[in-house]
């Protein structure tokens, strides 16, 4: 039996995530979501009384996806250089999907979630605090193996997050190959 409340809630979150990523938090409304799903605004308010509730739900869902991904990567016996590659691949898949996206095609901004074996919704750049916490661990642990950067692991994690978020913005106005070129530069900076 299909739970229509859960299905409607998930569809609302899916559309809201796409809009958040494409237009920003202020760039969408309940009216747009309701029209897209052919439902009334009241149906959205039933699940998410205020827009902030919807925004929090999007971030919580994205955080859970990232934590699954990070657990998957941490659980594998990978050298730190491979963990770095997996980190960049996560964002590269997002950039490639976005560049292939067509107007009105909602599914275009998905990335592969290896822990689930199916498509996820968005890259983990909506919650930099937890993300940075995960990133601090392996630059610190991998510094003896491959990393050779000035400053602390915390500072390096923050710089890497900022760089990747910047690359995503650049790819939006250039080509996906810009991603690879930028990653090469980051690796030259952080790797021995």
pLDDT per residue as tens digits for the range 57-106: 998 888 888 888 888 888 888 888 888 888 888 888 877 776 554 333 33
Residue 55 clears pLDDT 70, i.e. is over it:
yes
- The pLDDT confidence band at residue 130, using thresholds 50, 70 and 90, is low
How confident is the model at residue 137, as a pLDDT? 64
Taking the alpha carbons at both ends of the chain, their separation in whole angstroms is 56
Q: Where are the alpha helices (DSSP H) in the chain?
A: 4-23, 30-37, 41-47, 51-75, 80-100, 128-142, 153-173, 177-190
How confident is the model at residue 159, as a pLDDT? 81
Using a cut of 0.85, tell me whether the model's pTM lies above it: no
User: What is the rounded distance in angstroms from the CA atom of residue 67 to the CA atom of residue 72?
Assistant: 8
> Which of 59-63, 109-113, 158-162 is the least confident region?
109-113
């Amino acid at each position: 039996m299909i739970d229509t409340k859960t299905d409607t809630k998930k569809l609302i979150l899916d559309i809201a995530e796409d809009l958040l990523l494409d237009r920003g938090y202020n760039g969408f409304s309940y009216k747009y979501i309701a029209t897209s799903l052919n439902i009334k605004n009241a149906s959205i308010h039933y699940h998410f009384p205020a827009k902030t509730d919807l925004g929090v739900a999007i971030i919580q869902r994205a955080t859970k996806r990232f934590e699954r991904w990070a657990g998957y990567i941490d659980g594998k016996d990978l050298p730190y250089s491979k963990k770095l590659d997996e980190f960049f691949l996560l964002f590269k898949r997002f950039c490639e999907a976005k560049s292939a996206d067509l107007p009105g095609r909602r599914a275009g901004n998905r990335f592969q979630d290896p822990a689930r074996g199916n498509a996820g919704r968005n890259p983990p750049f909506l919650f930099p605090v937890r993300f940075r916490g995960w990133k601090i661990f392996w630059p610190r642990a991998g510094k003896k193996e491959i990393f050779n950067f000035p400053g602390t692991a915390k500072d390096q994690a923050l710089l890497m997050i900022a760089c990747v978020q910047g690359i995503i913005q650049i790819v939006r106005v250039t080509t996906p190959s810009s991603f690879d070129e930028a990653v090469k530069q980051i690796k030259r900076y952080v790797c021995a």
